[in-house]
Amino acid sequence: MPRPVTIRTVAERAGCSIATVSRVLNGSARASAQVEARVRAAVAELGFRPSEIGRSLKTLRARTIGVVIPSLTNPVFAGSVAGIEAEARGRGHTPLLTATDYEPEREREIVSALVAQSVAGLVLTVADPDANATLDLLDAEAIPYVLVYNEPTQAERAAVTVDNGAASRALTEAFLAAGHRRVLFIAGRFSTSDRSRLRHQGYLAAMGVAGLSPEPVLELDYLADAAAHRAALEGLLAGPARPTGIICSNDLLALSVIAALREMGLCVPGDVSVAGFDGIAIGRLVSPALATVDQPTRRMGERAVERLFALIEGQGSRTVEHLPFELRTGGTLAPAPSLSELSLSEPEAVPAPARGKRPAQTASVSRPSASRKAL
């Protein structure tokens, strides 16, 4: 399948930045004759046709902003949406909210639909904030946007988030301080979440500094249920050499894993300590309370809108802004059990899989039917 031609492709061929290509094509600023010639040659060679979706936005802006999040079922996004709505309404704008269901291929379709509504700008959480054709298109059309939760490494993309790597390192260090040496990291699929990847990198960094070998990462579908998560965990938690600690890349995943562990006859945190990431309110209501990294989600949403309007007014900067996080330990994070305790707390026996069927200890969980998506 041929690679789609985007403004990034043109920039690579011309040997310049995306912003420079945009300025040449839109005539918004002068470039050197040599650079302009390279850009126009690349456009001709590649057959690139600039998108028209930004034209109406440049001539007519409605008093709305587009908001794109990965999931309507995860409370962590509800917190930021509440902040987005409050700040937007205070500025006389109404948010138009939609979700991708962690499907990166839907991002362009959704963003195009919002831009067609002449939104003043967008606040988004995307799967990959760096290699992203949708964001490239927004850049090319000079459509203002701010990312929330994402941590882009590419220059000139505004974002409001926490330092995911540092937070995950701190959480892993808390496990190590509690005597855990075999700590498993369970991640939402890396292809759908840069946050998941960055948090795993923080775990790897902490394990490396401690001179410990990390466990192979277990990637699960965020929207799978506890039964599917149990099927993936059973083979990994058999025997006394099993991990004594599990770090999950978000809180909903951690709560589902805890339910699966209990169904297997394991006690949390007596047999296995578990922690999540996000700080959703329901994590404080379960017993014991969920150990986690608490993000200031409402403030992240408010700050994203503040920065969006600064960009709309031509005054904002396209940089990554880190807000402070809080480590919340205790509850489901306890001292590691001894070897003798591990041998006394074997999980329930797992029936052998039928011939021809995939064994339970897979590191991949398929998404359930639409009726069972919500955790």
Residue 85 falls inside a structural domain: yes
State the average pLDDT for the chain: 85
pLDDT value for 61: 58
Enter the tokens of residue 355: 């011939």
Same domain, yes or no, for 15 and 30?
Answer: yes
21 has pLDDT over 70: yes
Q: What is the pLDDT of residues 199-256, one digit of tens each?
A: 999 999 999 999 999 999 999 886 667 778 788 888 788 777 889 999 999 999 999 9
Same domain, yes or no, for 341 and 262?
Answer: yes
370 has pLDDT over 80: no
Q: Is 96 helix (H, G, I), strand (E, B) or coil?
A: strand
pLDDT value for 155: 65
Place of tokens 């999540």: 276
359 has pLDDT over 60: no
Neighbouring C-beta atoms of residue 63, cutoff 10 Å: 12
Same domain, yes or no, for 226 and 343?
Answer: yes
Place of tokens 């995943």: 253
What's the domain range around 182? Answer: 164-294+327-372
pLDDT value for 353: 40
CB distance 99 to 68 below 8 Å: yes
pLDDT value for 238: 73
347 has pLDDT over 70: no
162 has pLDDT over 80: yes
Task: Write the CA distances from 42 to 23, 100, 191, 283, integer angstroms.
Answer: 15, 33, 30, 53
Q: What is the pLDDT of residues 56-109, one digit of tens each?
A: 444 445 789 999 999 998 899 999 999 999 999 999 999 999 999 888 889 999
- Residues 128-137, buried b or exposed e (16+ Cβ, 10 A)? bbeebbbbbb
Residue 320 falls inside a structural domain: no
Same domain, yes or no, for 271 and 304?
Answer: no
Query: Which residues, at least 6 apart from 38, have a Cβ–Cβ distance to it below 8 Å?
Result: 14, 15, 16
pLDDT value for 250: 95
Same domain, yes or no, for 91 and 118?
Answer: yes
pLDDT value for 220: 87
C-alpha 230/C-alpha 220 separation (Å) is 11
More confident residue, 60 or 257: 257
Residue 318 falls inside a structural domain: no
| Residue 158 confidence class, pLDDT cut points 50, 70, 90 | very high
119 has pLDDT over 70: yes
Residue 281 falls inside a structural domain: yes
Residue 1 falls inside a structural domain: no
| Residue 19 confidence class, pLDDT cut points 50, 70, 90 | confident
pLDDT value for 183: 97
Share of the chain above pLDDT 70, in %: 83
Q: Is 73 helix (H, G, I), strand (E, B) or coil?
A: coil
Place of tokens 């006859």: 265
CB distance 361 to 235 below 8 Å: yes
Residue 321 falls inside a structural domain: no
Q: Which residues pair with 188 in a beta bridge?
A: 220
Same domain, yes or no, for 16 and 91?
Answer: no
If one counts the domains in the chain, the total is 3
Same domain, yes or no, for 158 and 290?
Answer: no
C-alpha 331/C-alpha 334 separation (Å) is 7
> Alpha helices of 178-324 — where are they, by DSSP H?
194-209, 226-233, 251-263, 282-285, 297-312
| Residue 275 confidence class, pLDDT cut points 50, 70, 90 | very high
CB distance 321 to 148 below 8 Å: no
Same domain, yes or no, for 302 and 282?
Answer: no
Same domain, yes or no, for 168 and 239?
Answer: yes
Q: Is 317 helix (H, G, I), strand (E, B) or coil?
A: coil
Type of residue found at 324: P
Respond yes or no on whether the N-terminal peptide bond of residue 288 is cis (omega within 30° of 0).
yes
C-alpha 63/C-alpha 174 separation (Å) is 46
Same domain, yes or no, for 41 and 60?
Answer: no
pLDDT value for 212: 97
Respond yes or no on whether the N-terminal peptide bond of residue 269 is cis (omega within 30° of 0).
yes
The most confident of 128-142, 145-159, 298-312, 346-360, by mean pLDDT = 298-312
Enter the tokens of residue 299: 């403030």
Neighbouring C-beta atoms of residue 206, cutoff 10 Å: 23
Q: Which of 131, 141, 81 is nearest to 111 (CA)?
A: 141
Same domain, yes or no, for 195 and 288?
Answer: yes
C-alpha 166/C-alpha 178 separation (Å) is 19
Residue 247 falls inside a structural domain: yes
pLDDT value for 160: 98
Residue 236 falls inside a structural domain: yes
Share of the chain above pLDDT 90, in %: 59
Same domain, yes or no, for 199 and 221?
Answer: yes
Whole-model pTM: value is: 0.75
Q: Which of 309, 194, 312, 182 is nearest to 246 (CA)?
A: 182
Give me the phi and psi of 219, to 5 degrees please: -95, 130
Average pLDDT over residues 355-359: 38
Task: Write the CA distances from 301 to 45, 155, 179, 346, integer angstroms.
Answer: 42, 21, 37, 44
Helix 7-14 vs helix 33-46: angle between axes, to the nearest 10 degrees?
130
194 has pLDDT over 90: yes
Tell me the CATH number at 218.
3.40.50.2300
CB distance 228 to 365 below 8 Å: yes
The most confident of 11-25, 48-62, 270-284, by mean pLDDT = 270-284
